[in-house]
Structure 1
Amino acid sequence: MDLHHLRAVAALSEQLHFGRAARALHISQPALSKQLKQLEDELGGALFVRGRSGVAPTALGRQLAEDARALLRDADQALARARRIARGEAGALRLGFGVATAALVARVVVRFRQRAPGVHVELQDMSTPAQLDALRSGALDLGFVRLPAPPDLASLEVVRDRLVAAAPRGRAAALEAAGPRALGEEPFVLLPRAVSVSFHDHVLRVCAHLGFRPRVAQEARDFATVLALVEAGIGVALLPASAMKGRAARVAPMRLPLPEAIFRVGAVWRRDQPNPAVATFRALVEAELARRPARGR
């Protein structure tokens, strides 16, 4: 028994005429008769009896027709859902991200939900190493990680930024005159490693290139809080230049003349990614990037 047999039973129980049922199914009348005979042989009983004006279902035929209609509705719904998933309009999209791309991801997710409201978006704040492992295992569909990405994964650069030193206005002039190595004499406000392994380690690498290890006075779990603590005079911090926008009144940025201060973040996915929703999301990421000045990436 398959869907063809069930459709034959449902059609004949509705039309009560072999010719009309065959036309409704877009098959020949002999083909319909053959399908019903196969099914009756399998079940061991008659489904319909012929009369002068058409056919009538037996008790077995009535029950099977009722069950067939319910099964066919379920099958049609399952097929429709599968087609929506294949078009990237349903299912789930599992995204990983970190602190550097949280705002970008939020903007793109809003547009993605408008484009594909049937897709459930799962967001996970994860470090770069954790995202790479999850992508390879299939636990994530797309992530936002520090570049360069491993060669087995495809990537698209979305952020190109650099670390700058943030200092309270009252200390900025003296630090600027002394140079970036003088930051080693200042207390630091730092994003903890538990929040972002990649960013935390990047700050430590830049400090090492400047010849010191930072003396941590306070940790904070996001850039806004780090800046607020710097404004309050708790210490200095190394932050992305993009995080300093709009804070120049009370916090002074100091450029770090090191190539190591530059960092890049990209959207990364498996080259054999089977989830069609990823292509839709990537297209929206590219559209978001096109709206921004190149230096903002």
Structure 2
Amino acid sequence: MNIPSCFSGLRGRLKTDAPLGMRSWFRTGGAADCLFVPKDSDDLSTALRQRPDTMSLTVLGACSNIIIRDGGIEGLVIRLAGGFADIDVEQDGLIVGAAALDVTVAETAAHHGLAGMEFLVGIPGSIGGAVAMNAGAYGRDMAAILDWVELLTSEGKPLRLPAHELTMSYRHTSLPKGAVVTRARLKGTPDNPAAITERMTAIRTSREESQPLRTRTGGSTFRNPDGHKAWELIDQAGCRGLIQGGAQMSEKHCNFMLNLGQASSADLEQLGTIVRQRVYDTSGISLQWEIKRLGRPTI
């Protein structure tokens, strides 16, 4: 596939038929029709302005909580890197790029004595995705610390929105359709760095004990329904350790899906479908995916 003629003058890396599977934490999936890694916000804005309305747009971050389907992702795929991972420290908060890893943000905040962001050490991924899905863990979420977010609209126009205009709810943030998060400001509270680090250590220990961290996984597979825990419903449905092809629901934490080594994305998605049906059959509750499934099933 050739570079689409609509794109010109871009300074970042633009590649067609770009393999994506090894970028995913599951290590599965096909290629991007067209992958663009912009140099900076201006470069990204140019690409968004030049993209035809008929060309679909997908933004990838750390690829921690997604299944990239085996047929790859159609249209334009944007991956933020480089300067999009910058972190600027202020007296009562951090201004962070969308590509900054959640754990790096938590560690930076702790080093500078800013409390309130400790929970980010327990969330795999990057800040752009955390903002877009109102990521949370250990009793806190992004809504509790977000001051404002900067983004580029689907037409490439810069926009800053205060958190109170985003209608943030459980695992959801209302962003303009097609918008790309570029930066966010996170609020912090001054505290003793040693005390903050101690709380982060406790979170890390808890995760290590309860989650299959050293495996090919994508984090929590399903959202917790109101008044229920997804893992308990999955366990009660007899799905702990359930295998489909090369995919398995973890024995250690049964709301985590694993690639045992040879799984396809189809195996993972089919396993999730089976689990959802069994949970519905036993409880009457329809689990909702937390992991995003992107792209074409096959080509």
Q: Give TM-score scaled by structure 2 length.
A: 0.23
Greater Rg over alpha carbons, structure: 1
Higher strand residue share = 2
Larger relative contact order (Cα-Cα within 8 Å, sequence gap ≥ 6)? 1
Higher helix residue share = 1
